[in-house]
Amino acid sequence: MVDGPDEFDRKILSLLQGDGRISMTDLAERVGLSPSPCARRVKRLEDEGYIDRYVALLNARKLGVGLSAFVNIRLKSQTRDAFDRFDAEVAHIPEIVGCHLVTGSYDYLLQVRVGDIDQFRTFMRDRLTAVEGVAETQSSIVLEQLKSTTAIPFAN
């Protein structure tokens, strides 16, 4: 795809974002193609990296990890080695479900999922502040999630 996804491809991608388990027959019907050409397009979108992977989105509250927090991190040093060490350490901390290198006053923005405020306190005290190079943290506890989506918007 030299020019990127065409209209059919964008429809396929949009529908798969909403339901990754949709049958090829239903997908083809909703896109306006027959199943074989639709399946070829899906395969091509996978092969070309437009579809990264398929996942199941779990209900965090039902699984006992209903508290979500965002934590800003400032490192003691902004060297390549300091960033590499931090990246390597947080990659193995399961409570951190999102980690972003950011601009501004802090170096990283983390999204953390734990069961409750006691678990968050323990996580901060025993896990996160123990990571080498962490100079400062600032936390925000999520009181209510108003919107959450994994969908990528398409410019039409």
Whether residue 62 lies inside any domain: the answer is: no
CATH classification at residue 24: 1.10.10.10
pLDDT attached to residue 1: 43
Cβ-defined contacts of 16-20 (< 8 Å, 24+):
16/42, 16/51, 17/150, 17/151, 17/152, 18/151, 20/54, 20/55
pLDDT attached to residue 121: 98
Whether residue 81 lies inside any domain: the answer is: yes
pLDDT digits (tens, 9 = 90+) for 99-121: 999 999 999 999 999 999 999 99
pLDDT digits (tens, 9 = 90+) for 25-38: 999 999 999 999 99
pLDDT digits (tens, 9 = 90+) for 78-99: 999 999 999 999 999 999 999 9
In angstroms, the CA 109 to CA 39 distance is 38
In angstroms, the CA 45 to CA 42 distance is 5
Both 36 and 76 in one domain: the answer is no
CATH classification at residue 91: 3.30.70.920
Which range marks the domain in which residue 16 is found?
Answer: 7-47
How does residue 128 score in pLDDT terms, banded at 50, 70 and 90? very high
